[in-house]
Amino acid sequence: MLRALARGMGTTLKMFFRRKPTIQYPFVKKERSARFRGRHELRRYSNGLEMCIGCELCQVACPAAAITVMPAENDPARPNSPGERYAWKYEIDMLRCIFCGLCEEACPTDALHLTREFELADFTRESLVYNRDRLVNKHTSDFQVPTHVYPPYSGWVPMHGPAGGDGAGAASGGEAPAAGDTPPAGEAKGA
Amino acid sequence: MDTVGLVLIRSLILVVALLSLFAGMTLIERKMLGYFHLRLGPTRTGPWGLLQPVADGIKAFIKEDIIPRDADRLVFRLAPIISVFAALAAWSVIPIGPPIQVGGVTIPLSVADPPGGVLVVLAFGALSVYGVTLAGWSSQSKYSLLGALRASAQLISYELSMGLSLLGVLMLAGSLRLTEIVAAQASLPYILLQPLGFVVFFISGVAEASRVPFDLPEAETELVSGYHTEYSGMRYAMFMMAEYVHMITVSSMVTLLYLGGWNGPAFLPPVLWFLLKVGLLLFVFIWLRASLPRLRYDRLMDLGWKVLLPLAVLNLVATAVATAVLG
């Protein structure tokens, strides 16, 4: 019995001097993997248009039924996305979401992306249903509008330049061929 | 000469020092336990968690003070006071160093140094049972009562072996005065002459202080919190205070009786030697708590009556024979 006691005491003493694996959480955060699936974001193209075209595939793919998408036709004068439609309403219920990432895989335009942000705690249920204002990234990404999919566009651009910006819009769509191949109606103004 | 004023000043210093030590011990214990558990313990309240006792104190003060409807109100209020009083009073005769000379006045480094100092400490240790028992009795709660009964049974059985193992030291020193016992260990601490007595005394001391692995009176797995189940706020804090001061008392008694008190190589002042030894024993207390599971109640009684008591008697007889033969 005494030997067992001594061994036990020895074990605890060894632990006493061992380095502690504690991470001082709010000040120091553990490195997350590049593929970490956290809070969702809806990305924008480099010219500021939303990448989401309101196709609802993410809503279909979602196993937890956390996503609600209601698309609407783009106003040709002030389009939200380069496609015909955009997500007029886009809601993700973070209380239902299981962060499986199937929505991200389903997205045909790579608009939906799961960031590495994970501190989502809040006080009410309502505040945890994220709407499009919170999901659409305020910053643009490096993605270019794929010109072989969408018609070239050099009209109103939400982020760059003043509203109805002619110069800035032209600059961002600079590499696009000259206006002419079936432009959307609003394009006439910019050109 | 030692005047009344000096005694009062020393008492005041003693109480303040003990209560600060209690506050410090709560933090140190949590930190050490954390380190034993591969954790860091409190870190957010000030650097190294140093303000944790302050936070705990504020919390204890602003908590609601609940007295159960059926409780015996007077006794319920009195019990924690008795506990703290007994714990603090035991310290009145414990010297932390040899008497010092200030301006021609000899000042002992304890509140008093009576000829029967050891007995005073033991008596106040025994008195602390009253606080515990009355707390459990007056709470009108089955958990409190069971905890209190266990506490009194445990304290009484372990006091026996404690007192008997102590007798060996008293025979060797030939005195009950703590300063003389320490002086008798100037060349050789009694732990070398009384190893068995030391072990028995220390184990009984841990049981006396109701510390893990002998914390049956407050075994939370079965008794919620034992005798202080119904206490909250500052009254609860007073029981904790009594427990920690008791722990410090036991450590200093072991230091004085077995580890040579303030005797030590001259490169450190005597008081520091004393504090160092007490600190080491307190570390052992925490180390035990981090390592050992709680004893079952019947095993606790078995250990007390069938192991420690015979060992203490054996130690006593052996010491008596050796002292008689060797002079």
Model pLDDT for residues A139-159, shown as the tens digit of each residue:
888 888 887 777 666 666 655
What is the DSSP secondary structure assignment for residue B102, as one 8-state letter? E
The answer to whether residue A145 sits within a structural domain is: no
Alpha-carbon distance B163 to B151, whole Å?
18
In chain A, the number of structural domains is 1
Token code pair at residue A67: 């996503």
Tell me whether residues B35 and A20 touch, CB distance under 8 A.
Answer: yes
Inform me whether the pLDDT recorded for A167 exceeds 60.
no
CA distances from B81 to A26, B157, B218 (A): 42, 24, 18
pLDDT tens sequence across A29-84? 888 888 899 999 999 988 888 889 888 999 999 999 999 999 998 887 888 888 88
Of chain A, the end-to-end C-alpha distance in Å amounts to: 92
pLDDT tens sequence across B156-199? 888 888 888 888 888 888 888 888 888 888 888 888 888 888 99
What ipTM was predicted for this assembly?
0.71
Q: Chain A contact for B287, CB < 8 A?
A: yes
The answer to whether residue A57 sits within a structural domain is: yes
Inform me whether the pLDDT recorded for A169 exceeds 50.
no
Residue B227, phi then psi, degrees to nearest 5: -65, -20
Tell me whether residues A13 and B287 touch, CB distance under 8 A.
Answer: yes
Alpha-carbon distance B248 to B217, whole Å?
19
Of chain B, the end-to-end C-alpha distance in Å amounts to: 36
Alpha-carbon distance B85 to B128, whole Å?
8
The answer to whether residue A43 sits within a structural domain is: yes
The answer to whether residue A174 sits within a structural domain is: no
Instruction: Kindly report which listed range (A103-112, A117-126, B288-297) carries the lowest average pLDDT score.
Output: B288-297
Which residue range(s) make up the domain with A127?
A: 32-137
The answer to whether residue A59 sits within a structural domain is: yes
The answer to whether residue A160 sits within a structural domain is: no
Whether residue B213 has a cis bond before it, omega within 30° of 0: yes
Give me the CATH number covering residue A86. Answer: 3.30.70.3270
The answer to whether residue A7 sits within a structural domain is: no
The answer to whether residue A47 sits within a structural domain is: yes
Low-confidence ranges of chain B (pLDDT < 50): none
Tell me whether residues B291 and A15 touch, CB distance under 8 A.
Answer: no
Identify all chain A residues contacting B43, using CB atoms and an 8 Å cutoff: 24
Closest CA–CA distance from residue A74 to any residue of chain B (Å): 52
